[in-house]
DNA sequence: TTTATACATTGCAATATTACGATTAATATT
DNA sequence: AATATTAATCGTAATATTGCAATGTATAAA
């Protein structure tokens, strides 16, 4: 039905999936890399740098902001975006926690 | 248009996004956690454990398999799935590499 | 061989996502 | 004030995803 049955999963599972879903688009990865690379706020150059139309970039920025991984302030006619370090670290911790789960597991399938 | 313009992004960006996209559903997180927890293969019990219909679980398994994060072998009438450790570690490395990018960045936005 | 079991595949309906043109809102510049 | 600049929002088309019933396939058990 195109609708995800979030209610049957744990908070943690939904949380991990929600983060991963937002990271699941190359434009959003590109935006994050660009913000990080600039070591500060980025403004309008994003549109030319990413290569998508301005409304599209704006939409991706909104999703990143909703997740809390970036934050922005209006400065003049432009908007200034940067990483929300506190949230980024939390997201990193949640993903790392999941990614490190399998340390003890052994292979069992042969193919 | 619902279609992702992968061609305008780097291989790395597409790679990160592809991994994250597959992890971006709670059912697939639940399946992975279940496989890891059992330390060995899980078969049809996944369906009762996850709480989704068998074709739906089968579809999620297919996506995980396509990404290479799990592998499966037929054993009798059932199929045995487990983590593909080599690929899991590679996926972990790719994600970690991205998640650790911002170590040097400083805050600049005030809100 | 027949029947049961376990899983994959197909087909479909509901919903979500992606992308962009047009428009709007807000501030800067003149 | 008039105009320019920047980015958000709205509306919409194209495509993707989610979920499941029905069906198909393969092995096991009888």
User: Which range has highest mean pLDDT (A16-30, A75-89, A94-108, B29-43)?
Assistant: A16-30
B53 inside domain? yes
Helix (H, G, I), strand (E, B) or coil at B106: coil
Domain containing residue B87: CATH number = 1.10.10.10
Mean pLDDT of A42-65: 90
B65's tokens: 């398999």
Categorize the per-residue pLDDT at A111 as very low, low, confident or very high, splitting at 50, 70 and 90. very low
Find the helix or strand (DSSP H, E) in which B80 lies: strand B78-83
pLDDT band at A107 (very low <50, low <70, confident <90, very high): low
Number of domains present in the structure of chain B: 1
Cβ(B100)–Cβ(A99) below 8 Å: no
Q: Which helix (H) or strand (E) holds B64?
A: helix B54-67
Q: What is the pLDDT of residues A4-24, one digit of tens each?
A: 999 999 999 999 999 999 999
In chain A, positions 24-43 with C-beta closer than 7 Å to nucleic chain D are 43
CB A109 within 8 A of CB B71: yes
- Identity of the highest mean pLDDT range in A67-81, B41-55, B85-99: B85-99
CA atoms of A37 and A31, how far apart (whole Å): 10
Range of weakest confidence among A77-86, B50-59, B100-109: B100-109
Q: Mind listing the pLDDT tens digit for each residue in B17-74?
A: 999 999 999 999 999 999 998 866 676 889 999 999 999 999 999 999 999 999 988 8
Q: Does B66 touch chain A (CB under 8 A)?
A: no
CB B38 within 8 A of CB B49: no
Indicate whether B4 belongs to any domain.
no
Q: Examine the pLDDT at B109 and tell me if it is beyond 80.
A: no
Structural domain harbouring A79: 10-98
Nearest-angstrom CA–CA distance, B30 and B44: 14
pLDDT, position B107: 56
Say if residue B110's pLDDT is above 70. no
- B78 found inside a domain: yes
Residue B81 falls inside a structural domain: yes
Q: Indicate whether A20 belongs to any domain.
A: yes
Which bases of strand D sit closer than 7 A to a protein CB?
A: 4-11, 13-22, 26-28
Q: What is the pLDDT of residue A13?
A: 98
For residues B73 and A111, give the distance between their C-alpha atoms in angstroms, rounded to a whole number: 6
**Quick check: is B51 in a domain?**
yes
Q: Hey, are the CB atoms on B72 and A110 less than 8 Å from each other?
A: no
| B105 vs A92: which has the higher pLDDT | A92
What's the whole-number average pLDDT of chain A?
A: 88
Residue B75 counted as domain residue? yes
Query: Which range, A11-15, A106-110, B107-111, is most confident?
Result: A11-15
Residue B111 lies in a domain: no
A27 CB below 7 A from strand C atoms: yes
**Residue B111 confidence (pLDDT):** 43
């Amino acid at each position: 039905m195109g609708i995800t049955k979030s209610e049957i999963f744990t908070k943690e599972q939904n949380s991990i999936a929600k983060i991963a879903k937002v990271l699941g688009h190359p434009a959003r990865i590109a935006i994050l890399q660009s913000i990080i690379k600039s070591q500060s706020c980025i403004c309008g150059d994003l549109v030319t740098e990413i290569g998508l139309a301005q409304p599209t970039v704006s939409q991706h920025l909104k999703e990143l902001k909703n997740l809390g991984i970036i934050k922005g302030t209006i400065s003049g006619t432009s908007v200034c975006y940067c990483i929300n370090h506190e949230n980024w670290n939390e997201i990193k911790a949640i993903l790392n926690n999941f990614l490190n789960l399998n340390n003890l597991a052994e292979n069992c399938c042969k193919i």
